[in-house]
Amino acid sequence: DQQVKQNSPSLSVQEGRISILNCDYTNSMFDYFLWYKKYPAEGPTFLISISSIKDKNEDGRFTVFLNKSAKHLSLHIVPSQPGDSAVYFCAARTYNQGGKLIFGQGTELSVKP
């Protein structure tokens, strides 16, 4: 039972353009959502998060949008840079589950110069 899904295993974008990574979830009890970035042979690095009481959070080039009615989350990167090339994981949690994060399977982003 996969509660968090990233249906695109890979995405290729030209440098300077917008990258949009998508995530769908099924559990309406999720109250906090996160995006992580992962380079090979390294651990996931926290990128940006959003609480379920908000619909948008922005940090520099990164913006996360939450559509609760559609149970959909997206990460926008503008402008995309070659250094953004990595695997991006969406994750979610419910407040009463001991901090347990449920991860999607990841989307590999490639930003071409």
Partner 1 sequence: DTAVSQTPKYLVTQMGNDKSIKCEQNLGHDTMYWYKQDSKKFLKIMFSYNNKELIINETVPNRFSPKSPDKAHLNLHINSLELGDSAVYFCASSQAPGQPQPQHFGDGTRLSIL
Distance CA 15, CA 58 (A): 20
Q: Provide the 8-state DSSP code for 42.
A: S
For residues 42 and 69, which CB has a smaller minimum distance to partner 1 in the complex? 42
For residues 60 and 113, which CB has a smaller minimum distance to partner 1 in the complex? 60
Write b or e for each residue in 75-91: b if 16 or more Cβ atoms lie within 10 A of its Cβ, otherwise e: bbbeebeeebbbbbbbb
Q: How far is the CB of 70 from partner 1 (least distance, A)?
A: 21
Q: How far is the CB of 87 from partner 1 (least distance, A)?
A: 8
Q: How far is the CB of 17 from partner 1 (least distance, A)?
A: 26
Q: Which of 81, 35, 77 is nearest to 60 (CA)?
A: 77
For residues 79 and 103, which CB has a smaller minimum distance to partner 1 in the complex? 103
For residues 49 and 74, which CB has a smaller minimum distance to partner 1 in the complex? 49
Q: How far is the CB of 4 from partner 1 (least distance, A)?
A: 10
Could you tell me which residues come within 8 angstroms of residue 98 by beta carbon, excluding any fewer than 6 positions away?
none
Whether 88 contacts 106, CB under 8 Å: yes
**Which residues contribute to the site for partner 1 (CB under 8 A)?**
31-32, 34, 36, 41-46, 49, 51, 87, 89, 91, 95-101, 103, 105-106
